[in-house]
Chain A
Amino acid sequence: MELFDILLSASFWAAAVRIASPLIFATLGELICERAGVLNLGIEGIMVIGAFAGWMAVYLGAGLWAGVFVAMLAGMAFGLLHATLTVPFGLSQHVVGLGVTLLATATAAFAYRLSLPEVTSPPRIEPFQPWPIPGLADIPLIGPALFAQTPLTYLAFALIAVVSVVLYRTPLGLALRAAGENPASVEAQGLSVTALRMGAVIVGSGLMAVGGAFLTMSAFSSFFFEMVNGRGWICIALVVFGAWRPGKAALGALLFAAFDAGQVRLQQTPIGAYVPYQVFLMVPYLLSILALELMSRRAEVPAALMVPFNKGER
């Protein structure tokens, strides 16, 4: 019964869409990297640096959109580092990715301490406010869920379409996918595998950072060290869940977010009195593992994912 009530409440759906937004940004970012053949395990740290940089920029007086831009630039900088090490130098993508995550997380902590040495609780900023879309926002259930969100959420959903169109309808997308399937096919057609892959990693990292910035600038209004809390790793699983397709991956993000929004609400029902709340916290992850297992059986991994390409080597 309680479950039914939850599913019929507008606040549940609004929360699901809100929770999904940062995941969508970061999942699309990771998907772009992997489609070009690079696994970007820097995602977790890049989300942290994005969350920090956007928030800090606004705290120091920048506008909200300028803050998003700063977050994106910060992500792209770490993306450039990752791309340089993994693409032209061909180093292990696992090691580099984890290194970038550690470095970006530590950089955020360091910069935080440098700029706010005396502060015990982090200062708040004025975050993005919801932009209800006139007319549409009044539709029952769907209205509050989809059309009374902050602009960053609208941007996230618009990006799903943009990334799909670029990947499947443009020469750039074709070349990008080919770089992830067989870099030699790109090289033989006179394009630079290095440029394509580096570009994909840099742009993808920028999106991940915007996903992180969503947390400080739209979902909450402040920065905490633990706030990304494994979302980056979830996004890596979501890319697999979505079989490397933007639409399906975004759907996966929504599904995960719905589990997450649902478990919070389940805790407040009478069941919550008997079951420890930690069990509820586990639910989205357990269900995600299950869904991943079911969905990814037939998924086609980009054939050249994690395979470095050296020009002239046979």
Chain B
Amino acid sequence: MAREVEAEVVLRLCGITKRFGPLLANDAISFDLRRGEVVALLGENGAGKTTLMNILFGHYTADEGTVEVFGRPLPPGQPRAALMAGVGMVHQHFTLADNMTVLENILIGTRPILSLRLDMRAARARVARLAADFGLAVDPGARVGTLSVGERQRVEILKALYRDARILILDEPTAVLTPQETAALFETLRKAVTLGLSVIFISHKLGEVMAISSRVLVLRHGRLAGEVATADTDRHRLAEMMVGAEITQPKLAERAPGPALLTLSAVHTPRRGNAPGLRGVSLGLHAGQITGLAGVSGNGQAALAALIGGLEAPVRGGMELHGLVPADWSPRAALAAGIARIPEDRHRTGSIADLSLTENAVLESYADAPYSRKGWMNWPEAEAFARRIIKTYDVRCPGPRVPIRLLSGGNMQKLILGRALAAGPRIILANQPVRGLDIGAVTFVHAELVAARHRGAAVLLISEDLDEVMALSDVIHVIYEGQLSPAFPRGSMSPAELGIWMAGDGFEGAVDAA
């Protein structure tokens, strides 16, 4: 440890402050990064981590404060200057052109723009060497659009390494990875560190922060809330620093599952664009049970959600609702059958941005009494309903008449949750219900789902966050390329074992059998 303290400072942030209107996103943040260390930047969504890194990389300009790289001040607001100084950033949302090859993506902007030649052969050799040195296997000639998310991330890292980055910033790099891919990423980062690079690892996942970092900086509400050596702390203390209070895990009381309310047997649905359809999915959603669906994004979660939500009908296979085969299948039929939906994308499918809270609250029930009669809307009734949701679910808003786009993600989600749960549904489809929410809102949504379970609803929880699925589910299925794994009872599988299924191993036999 003593050697690390002596290592040179490669990056120094001094008093960085950034405001977005009235919001103070970063409040006088200062820290040093030394050669050969991994510093974790830990904080909830909205704590200001990404803003800080975007300032460092020149996407944003700080209102106050300076950035020094290798002792030289970095001119603000110029990604090019940051790249030249040796800062490489792996963005949370990849900045890759899907229709171009890996090599082309890596080469953009690496040669003077008006030079006449682009030596693809030399570039390919250099990429191959870097890939070998850092354990980043990827085919340089492949079109990025055909790569898996893990491979795309490797391309992003290669982009930085190709430009001789000495400081790597990774923004929530593990959000989209399987546990195995995460392990491989950590291996790469350890290699980078031994080669003298420095890493800033942005995350809100405590386990990963403990595993990879040597030092942790905790951000809370835009402020540096603490700085500790990883060896001197543990997950609980980090969580407290991050939230500022003790956090409670939802508790699932033992209870025997009730009857199956929705049953799928060997259902197939068509492919939609790049999204796989379902291939022979059999599933039972039981009363009083939360069924978790784990899997890497884009493996058929959308198809399953579309099927249960009534947007898609099975082309083959059977479906039973409350023991009956539905005569026709549409979103309206799904609603009528008591299926409540919490859509994956609250902005695009969960709400209509420019409509008011009231209008959004009755989107699923506007045609029914008491919100309308004989084709006329009863707005006072609708507004009263919106007010009830606002009160019960603690939706922070200026009132029911403002457009819903003015609400923060968490409050928008609470309104959608209220809309879905108001009628006491028997079946709840919760697709990524806490994505992008802060811990307070997450706890609230989880508690509501658990409460629904207690009153006997069948809940399907779809999430890309394995920790979330494992914490809440009575049984877990893994989805891969539109196929479903067997049901794993709570506690019967470790994250690593589920990760193997998420990577697709174990499914081949299932296909042959089907």
Which residues on the B side are within 8 Å of A312 (C-beta)?
54, 59-60
Shortest CB–CB separation between residue A86 and chain B, in angstroms? 20
**Within the complex, which residue of A171, A178, A184 is in contact with B115, where a contact is CB–CB below 8 Å?**
A171
Closest to B84 in A: A190
Q: Do the beta carbons of B99 and A181 come within 8 Å of each other?
A: yes
B100 within 8 A of A: yes
Q: Do the beta carbons of B99 and A190 come within 8 Å of each other?
A: no
Give the dominant DSSP class at B's interface: loop
Which residues on the A side are within 8 Å of B59 (C-beta)?
187, 311-312
A51 within 8 A of B: no
Residue among B83, B115, B118, B159 having the largest count of chain A Cβ atoms under 10 Å: B118
Q: Do the beta carbons of B118 and A171 come within 8 Å of each other?
A: yes
Of B101-109, B131-139, B335-343, B387-395, the one contacting chain A is B101-109
Which residues on the A side are within 8 Å of B272 (C-beta)?
none
Closest to A304 in B: B97
Interface residues of A in 152-196 (CB under 8 A from B): 169-172, 174-175, 177-178, 181-182, 184-191
Which residues on the A side are within 8 Å of B115 (C-beta)?
170-171
Q: Do the beta carbons of A187 and B99 come within 8 Å of each other?
A: no
Residue among A182, A186, A187, A314 having the largest count of chain B Cβ atoms under 10 Å: A182
Q: Given contacts A182-B96, A187-B95, A191-B113, is CB(A174)–CB(B118) below 8 Å?
A: yes
Q: Do the beta carbons of A188 and B91 come within 8 Å of each other?
A: yes
Which residues on the A side are within 8 Å of B95 (C-beta)?
182, 184-185, 187-188
Q: Do the beta carbons of A178 and B97 come within 8 Å of each other?
A: yes
Q: Do the beta carbons of A174 and B108 come within 8 Å of each other?
A: yes
Which residues on the B side are within 8 Å of A177 (C-beta)?
97, 100, 104
Which residues on the B side are within 8 Å of A189 (C-beta)?
79, 83, 108-110, 159
Shortest CB–CB separation between residue A30 and chain B, in angstroms? 19
Q: Given contacts A174-B104, A191-B108, A191-B109, is CB(A185)–CB(B97) below 8 Å?
A: yes
**Within the complex, which residue of B80, B81, B82, B105 is in contact with A185, where a contact is CB–CB below 8 Å?**
B105
Q: Do the beta carbons of A178 and B116 come within 8 Å of each other?
A: no
Q: Do the beta carbons of A181 and B109 come within 8 Å of each other?
A: no
Q: Given contacts A170-B118, A171-B115, A311-B59, is CB(A187)–CB(B79) below 8 Å?
A: yes
B514 within 8 A of A: no
A303 within 8 A of B: yes
Report how far A208 CA is from B108 CA in the complex, Å: 27
Interface residues of B in 56-97 (CB under 8 A from A): 59-60, 78-84, 89, 91, 93, 95-97
A5 within 8 A of B: no
Q: Do the beta carbons of A181 and B110 come within 8 Å of each other?
A: no
**Within the complex, which residue of B97, B112, B159 is in contact with A171, where a contact is CB–CB below 8 Å?**
B112
Q: Given contacts A177-B100, A181-B100, is CB(A188)–CB(B113) below 8 Å?
A: no
Which residues on the A side are within 8 Å of B93 (C-beta)?
184, 314
B117 within 8 A of A: yes
B271 within 8 A of A: no
B315 within 8 A of A: no
Q: Do the beta carbons of A181 and B83 come within 8 Å of each other?
A: no
Report how far A16 CA is from B59 CA in the complex, Å: 51
Which residues on the A side are within 8 Å of B116 (C-beta)?
170
Shortest CB–CB separation between residue B116 and chain A, in angstroms? 6
Shortest CB–CB separation between residue B80 and chain A, in angstroms? 3
Shortest CB–CB separation between residue A161 and chain B, in angstroms? 14
B114 within 8 A of A: yes
Q: Do the beta carbons of A178 and B113 come within 8 Å of each other?
A: no
Number of contacting residues on A, CB 8 A?
A: 24
Report how far A300 CA is from B144 CA in the complex, Å: 14
Report how far A189 CA is from B159 CA in the complex, Å: 9
Report how far A178 CA is from B97 CA in the complex, Å: 6
Shortest CB–CB separation between residue A63 and chain B, in angstroms? 29
Q: Do the beta carbons of A185 and B113 come within 8 Å of each other?
A: no
Shortest CB–CB separation between residue A121 and chain B, in angstroms? 47
Q: Given contacts A169-B118, A312-B60, is CB(A188)–CB(B98) below 8 Å?
A: no
Which residues on the B side are within 8 Å of A172 (C-beta)?
113-114
Closest to A199 in B: B113
Q: Given contacts A177-B100, A303-B97, is CB(A188)–CB(B118) below 8 Å?
A: no
B111 within 8 A of A: yes
Report how far A185 CA is from B96 CA in the complex, Å: 5
**Within the complex, which residue of B54, B83, B113, B117 is in contact with A175, where a contact is CB–CB below 8 Å?**
B113
Shortest CB–CB separation between residue B106 and chain A, in angstroms? 9
Q: Do the beta carbons of A191 and B80 come within 8 Å of each other?
A: yes
Report how far A169 CA is from B96 CA in the complex, Å: 19
Q: Do the beta carbons of B118 and A303 come within 8 Å of each other?
A: no
Closest to B116 in A: A170
Which residues on the A side are within 8 Å of B105 (C-beta)?
178, 185
Closest to A173 in B: B118
Which residues on the A side are within 8 Å of B108 (C-beta)?
174-175, 178, 185-186, 189, 191
Which residues on the A side are within 8 Å of B113 (C-beta)?
171-172, 175, 191
Q: Do the beta carbons of A171 and B99 come within 8 Å of each other?
A: no
Report how far A169 CA is from B111 CA in the complex, Å: 12
Report how far A186 CA is from B159 CA in the complex, Å: 12
Q: Do the beta carbons of B96 and A186 come within 8 Å of each other?
A: no
Which residues on the A side are within 8 Å of B78 (C-beta)?
190
Report how far A3 CA is from B159 CA in the complex, Å: 57
Residue among B54, B93, B97, B100 having the largest count of chain A Cβ atoms under 10 Å: B97
Shortest CB–CB separation between residue A34 and chain B, in angstroms? 13
Shortest CB–CB separation between residue B142 and chain A, in angstroms? 15
Closest to B57 in A: A188
Taken residue by residue from 127 to 170, chain A's Cβ proximity to chain B (1 for < 8 Å, 0 otherwise) reads as 00000000000000000000000000000000000000000011
Which residues on the B side are within 8 Å of A184 (C-beta)?
91, 93, 95
Closest to A301 in B: B99
Which residues on the B side are within 8 Å of A302 (C-beta)?
99
Which residues on the B side are within 8 Å of A314 (C-beta)?
93
Which residues on the B side are within 8 Å of A191 (C-beta)?
80, 108-109, 113
Report how far A112 CA is from B72 CA in the complex, Å: 59
Shortest CB–CB separation between residue A171 and chain B, in angstroms? 4
Closest to A168 in B: B118
Report how far A178 CA is from B106 CA in the complex, Å: 11
**Within the complex, which residue of A174, A187, A311 is in contact with B107, where a contact is CB–CB below 8 Å?**
A174
Residue among A170, A172, A186, A190 having the largest count of chain B Cβ atoms under 10 Å: A190
Q: Do the beta carbons of B118 and A181 come within 8 Å of each other?
A: no
Which residues on the A side are within 8 Å of B81 (C-beta)?
190
Q: Given contacts A171-B112, A175-B109, is CB(A188)–CB(B79) below 8 Å?
A: yes
Report how far A191 CA is from B159 CA in the complex, Å: 14
A-B contact pairs, 14 of them (CB 8 A): A169-B117, A169-B118, A171-B114, A177-B97, A178-B104, A178-B105, A182-B98, A184-B93, A184-B95, A185-B95, A185-B96, A187-B95, A190-B83, A190-B84
Given contacts A175-B108, A184-B93, 18 further A-B contacts (CB under 8 A): A170-B117, A171-B107, A171-B113, A171-B115, A172-B114, A174-B104, A174-B108, A174-B118, A181-B97, A182-B96, A182-B98, A187-B79, A189-B83, A189-B108, A189-B110, A190-B82, A191-B109, A303-B98
Interface residues of B (CB under 8 A from A): 54, 59-60, 78-84, 89, 91, 93, 95-100, 104-105, 107-118, 159
Give me the 4 closest cross-chain CB pairs, A-B, nearest first: A190-B80, A189-B109, A181-B97, A188-B95
